[in-house]
């Protein structure tokens, strides 16, 4: 069997989403979750891949978490054209979770998942049913249910009325067709920005408002600095008061930075967080960091990070960060610029990764 053409798959996916009518942002959230799953769980190039739908539900909650705040004077943003009185949407569910978290002094989905495991388990199960009945059922289709058109995963068993018994029979999972996981992983640097722009366009349309696009994009997809800032004291002490990147003494005003950029992978685990001086953080932005920075962040002792995380009930997520790092760099083409320090870049080689 010939290798799957990633560009052809990407073009087909883009054409489908660009021409099909989107009455909510759920398809985009689900596609983003699929890409994130493939980055975090790489498989052999030509292999199929099992994707647990509850795991996608976790990623969807993470995607909507920053979006259920009030957007300035406009307030809560509408993300579903068909929602009406008495109909609870995915966004409503995430908003409820966030409200509960804030009442408990928690800032992230991972903190709530740790503090309220039973609540999280019930909610993700309910959301998994919704994903199976709606976006996963419709993601590959542009109207109708013509046979033979599935190109990402077998969706023949999915429907708007799919039952828990049917989900049980399929182990609450979809199976990506051979090569699809690798293709989505390789496409992620270009696919994610396109998905985000469609998302911004849809939110503008659904809210029938002249929303400032740069502000809206940052609101929908930017990292929430307030929550991660609570880790700054522990990270500063762990780094002996020095910037993770340049090793210079940290000023009073420090930034908590996502080493693997938030705009590429939404990983808030302590394993992916460091403190940096504003100059380094402002220059790095969304660039992939130099390999030595990734090696250093992965080499930090687990016990040290756990001590920083424990008082805030924050996850460390070492394996998730490590797997995603390997996936990001293995999928990047040779010659990709890698940020080393302000104004200085390395270039990714073609050899094996050191982590």
pLDDT digits (tens, 9 = 90+) for 280-314: 999 998 899 999 999 999 999 999 999 999 999 99
pLDDT tier at 15, thresholds 50, 70, 90: confident
Judgement on whether residues 217 and 116 belong to the same structural domain of the protein: yes
CB atoms within 10 A of CB 240: 9
255 and 341 both lie in a single domain: yes
Q: What is the pLDDT of residue 155?
A: 93
Query: Which range of residues forms the domain containing residue 57?
Result: 6-221
- pLDDT, position 25: 94
At 339, which helix (H) or strand (E)?
strand 337-341
Lowest mean pLDDT among 81-90, 174-183, 221-230: 81-90
Asked if residue 192 and residue 47 are part of one domain, the reply reads: yes
What value does the mean pLDDT of the chain take? 91
Q: Find the mean pLDDT for residues 308-329.
A: 95
Q: Are residues 272 and 123 in the same domain?
A: no
Q: Specify whether 36 is located in the same domain as 12.
A: yes
Q: Is the pLDDT of residue 67 over 80?
A: yes
pLDDT over 80 (residue 21): no
If one compares 16 and 342, the residue with the highest pLDDT of the two is: 342
In a domain? residue 352? no
d(CA 184, CA 176): 10
Please give the backbone phi and psi of residue 189, each rounded to the nearest 5 degrees, phi first. Answer: -65, -30
Instruction: Indicate the pLDDT class of residue 116, thresholds 50, 70 and 90.
Output: very high
Q: So what's the pLDDT on residue 2?
A: 64
Q: Which residue has the higher pLDDT, 99 or 88?
A: 99
Element (H, E) at 228: helix 225-228
Reported as a single tens digit per residue, the pLDDT across 187-213 is 998 899 999 999 999 999 888 766 776
Given pLDDT bands bounded at 50, 70 and 90, which one contains residue 242?
very high
Total domains in the fold of the chain: 2
Answer yes or no: is 355 within a domain.
no
Closest of 201, 225, 328 to residue 276, by C-alpha: 225
143 band by pLDDT with thresholds 50, 70 and 90: low
| DSSP bridge pairs for 180 | none
Asked if residue 145 belongs to a domain, the reply is yes
Q: CA-to-CA distance for 323 and 333, rounded, in angstroms?
A: 18
Please give the full DSSP string across 108-123, using - where no structure is assigned.
SHHHHHHH-HHHHHHH
Whether the pLDDT of residue 233 is over 60: the answer is yes
Nearest-CA neighbor of 291 among 239, 328, 257? Answer: 328
**Any domain includes 309:** yes
49 and 187 assigned to the same domain:
yes
pLDDT score for 222: 84
Given 221, 238, 254, the domain boundary residue is: 221
Per-residue pLDDT, 17: 82
**Listed residue (149, 63, 150, 140) closest to 109, CA to CA:** 63
Q: Specify the DSSP class assigned to residue 261.
A: -
Q: Final residue of a domain: which of 186, 206, 221? A: 221
pLDDT score recorded for residue 179: 96
The residues, ordered by sequence, that sit 6+ positions from 267 with a Cβ below 8 Å of its Cβ are 258, 260, 317, 320, 321, 324
CA dist 340 and 116 (Å) reads 40
Let me know whether 279 and 296 are in one domain.
yes
* 232 and 217 in a common domain: no
**Residue 259 forms part of a structural domain:** yes
pLDDT of residue 28: 95
Looking at the structure, tell me whether residues 17 and 36 fall in a common domain. Answer: yes
**pLDDT above 60 (res 144):** no
Quick one: pLDDT band at residue 214, thresholds 50, 70, 90? low
The pLDDT of residue 85: 46
Q: Please report the pLDDT score of residue 4 as a whole number.
A: 87
Closest to 233 in 3D by CA, of 254, 209, 257, 206: 254
Q: Are 49 and 180 in contact (CB under 8 A)?
A: yes
Domain final position from 163, 195, 221: 221
Percent of the chain with pLDDT over 90: 74
């Amino acid at each position: 069997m010939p290798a799957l053409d990633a560009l052809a798959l990407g073009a087909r996916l883009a054409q489908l989403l660009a021409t099909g009518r989107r009455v909510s942002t759920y398809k985009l959230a689900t596609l983003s979750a699929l890409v994130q799953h493939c980055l975090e769980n790489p498989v052999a190039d030509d292999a199929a891949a099992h994707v647990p739908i509850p795991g996608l539900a976790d990623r969807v909650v993470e995607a909507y978490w920053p979006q259920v705040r009030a957007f300035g004077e406009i307030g809560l943003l509408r993300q579903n054209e068909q929602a009406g009185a008495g109909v609870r949407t995915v966004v409503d569910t995430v908003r409820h979770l966030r409200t509960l978290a804030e009442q408990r002094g928690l800032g992230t989905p991972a903190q709530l998942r740790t503090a309220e495991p039973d609540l999280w388990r019930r909610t993700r199960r309910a959301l998994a049913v919704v994903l199976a009945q709606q976006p996963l059922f419709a993601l590959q289709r542009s109207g109708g249910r013509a046979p033979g058109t599935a190109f990402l995963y077998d969706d023949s068993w999915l429907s708007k009325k799919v039952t828990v018994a049917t989900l049980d029979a399929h182990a609450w999972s979809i199976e990506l067709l051979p090569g699809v996981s690798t293709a989505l992983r390789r496409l992620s640097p270009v696919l994610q920005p396109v998905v985000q722009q469609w998302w911004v366009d849809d939110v503008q349309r659904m809210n029938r408002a002249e929303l400032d696009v740069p502000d809206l994009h940052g609101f929908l997809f930017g990292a929430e600095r307030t929550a991660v800032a609570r880790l700054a004291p522990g990270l500063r002490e762990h780094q002996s008061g020095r910037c993770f990147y340049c090793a210079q003494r940290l000023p009073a005003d420090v930034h908590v930075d996502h080493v693997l950029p938030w705009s590429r992978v939404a990983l808030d685990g302590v394993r992916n967080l460091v403190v940096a001086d504003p100059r380094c953080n402002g220059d790095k932005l969304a660039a992939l960091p130099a390999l030595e920075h990734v090696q250093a962040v992965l080499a930090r002792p687990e016990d040290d990070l756990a001590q920083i995380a424990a008082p805030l009930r924050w996850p460390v997520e070492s394996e998730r960060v490590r797997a995603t790092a390997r996936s990001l760099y293995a999928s990047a083409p040779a010659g990709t610029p890698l940020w080393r320090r302000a104004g200085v870049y390395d270039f990714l080689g073609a050899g094996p990764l050191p982590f």
